[in-house]
């Protein structure tokens, strides 16, 4: 991915990692459009970053995705990058939750959202000299956090889907890059996460991601050092992976 000279759409760009990426790419001189459900959050971010644009997008609504994609093609004909950052993460007690509303919402936002938005934007991306689709997965795509099973499953699915999409687009002008964050200080799971000392500071994460993009423009996976133990855990063999999985989940459930 080129670090400059882009017109970039970032979903979930008003908060957390999305906002961090939006501001970093904006400072590099890219044209950045942030998208999300909450108009006030988008306004606050664009007001703090003059020249940044925004659009309200309900990533759960297929009709709204198509409408926004069509409008983006008109308003930003040079759009050549989409970063699928929007996502929700909710704890689920599978023994005590007979309803599946949370699971369905997570699948709709985290999995169907990127699939639908890619389909809507692909004709526009293919018109550009060079384009990039960035899927945001997670270290939890490779070692799931058991208290958030559907979230982890959607990230594993997007990892798999990204590989297939990359293969299908290999003879086109559109590259596919996967960004897999570790545990980062955001409010994805509430305010406690933003202050959790076990989580990577957001600014540190954004800075390391940008350094990888600048120094490894052909990378298909963007992996900061702190996520690599999760990414490579399965390569250690079944028994070691099982032990790692249990230790990881025990530590996350019992931080003390």
Please report the pLDDT score of residue 99 as a whole number: 85
Summarize the confidence of residues 1-8 as an average pLDDT: 97
Q: How many CB atoms lie within 10 A of CB 245?
A: 16
Tens-digit pLDDT profile for residues 177-215: 999 999 999 999 888 899 999 999 999 999 999 999 999
Please report the pLDDT score of residue 98 as a whole number: 79
Please report the pLDDT score of residue 231 as a whole number: 97
Of 42-51, 183-192, 224-233, 247-256, least confident by mean pLDDT is 247-256
Residue 185: inside a domain: yes
Position 256 pLDDT exceeds 70: no
Residue 236: inside a domain: no
Position 97 pLDDT exceeds 90: no
Position 38 pLDDT exceeds 90: yes
Residue 245: inside a domain: no
Summarize the confidence of residues 140-169 as an average pLDDT: 98
Summarize the confidence of residues 102-114 as an average pLDDT: 97
149 closest CA partner among 203, 195, 92: 92
- When the pLDDT of each residue in the chain is averaged and rounded to a whole number, the result is 96
Report d(CA 191, CA 195) in Å as an integer. 7
Summarize the confidence of residues 96-120 as an average pLDDT: 95
Residue 130: inside a domain: yes
What total of structural domains would you count in the chain? 1
Position 255 pLDDT exceeds 90: no
Residue 119: inside a domain: yes
What the block records as the tokens of 124 is 């526009």
Tens-digit pLDDT profile for residues 230-251: 999 999 899 999 999 999 999 9
Residue pointed to by tokens 């050549």: 80
Range of the domain at 99: 7-226
Residue 253: inside a domain: no
Residue 138: inside a domain: yes
In a 3-state reduction of DSSP, which class is residue 218?
coil
Position 254 pLDDT exceeds 80: no
Q: 43, 151, 205, 241: which is the annotated catalytic residue?
A: 151
Beta strands across the sheet bearing 7-11:
53-56, 31-36, 7-11, 81-84, 131-136, 174-179, 221-222
**Percentage of the chain lying above the pLDDT 70 cut:** 99
Predicted TM-score (pTM) of this structure:
0.96
Confidence of residue 85 (pLDDT cuts 50, 70, 90): very high
Q: Read off the CATH number of the domain in which 48 is found.
A: 3.40.50.720
Summarize the confidence of residues 68-79 as an average pLDDT: 97
Q: Is position 205 annotated as part of the catalytic site?
A: no
Please report the pLDDT score of residue 34 as a whole number: 98
Summarize the confidence of residues 112-140 as an average pLDDT: 98
Residue 247: inside a domain: no
Outline where DSSP puts E strands in the chain.
7-11, 31-36, 53-56, 81-84, 131-136, 174-179, 221-222
Query: In whole angstroms, what separates CA 70 from the centre of its chain?
Result: 22
Summarize the confidence of residues 129-139 as an average pLDDT: 98
């Amino acid at each position: 991915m080129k670090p400059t000279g882009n017109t970039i759409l970032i979903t979930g760009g008003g908060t957390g990692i999305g906002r961090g990426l939006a501001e970093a790419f904006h400072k590099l001189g890219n044209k950045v459009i942030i998208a999300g459900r909450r108009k006030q959050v988008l306004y606050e971010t664009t007001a703090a970053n003059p020249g940044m644009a925004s659009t309200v997008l309900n990533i759960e609504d297929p009709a709204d995705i198509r409408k926004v994609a069509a409008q983006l093609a008109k308003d930003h004909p040079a759009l050549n990058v989409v970063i699928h950052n929007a996502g929700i993460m909710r704890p689920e007690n599978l023994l005590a939750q007979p309803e599946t509303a949370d699971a369905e919402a997570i699948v709709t936002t985290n999995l169907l959202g990127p699939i639908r938005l890619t389909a809507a934007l692909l004709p526009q991306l293919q018109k550009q000299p060079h384009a990039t689709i960035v899927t945001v997965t997670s270290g939890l795509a490779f070692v799931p956090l058991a208290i958030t099973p559907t979230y982890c499953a959607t990230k594993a699915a997007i990892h798999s889907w990204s590989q297939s999409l990359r293969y299908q687009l290999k003879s086109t002008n559109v590259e596919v890059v996967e960004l897999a964050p570790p545990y980062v200080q955001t409010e994805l799971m509430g305010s406690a996460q933003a202050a959790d000392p076990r989580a990577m500071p957001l600014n540190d994460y954004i800075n390391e991601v940008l350094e990888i993009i600048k120094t490894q423009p052909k990378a298909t996976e963007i992996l900061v050092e702190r996520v690599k133990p999760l990414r490579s855990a399965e390569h250690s063999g079944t028994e070691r992976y099982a032990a790692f999985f249990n230790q990881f989940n025990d530590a996350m459930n019992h931080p003390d």
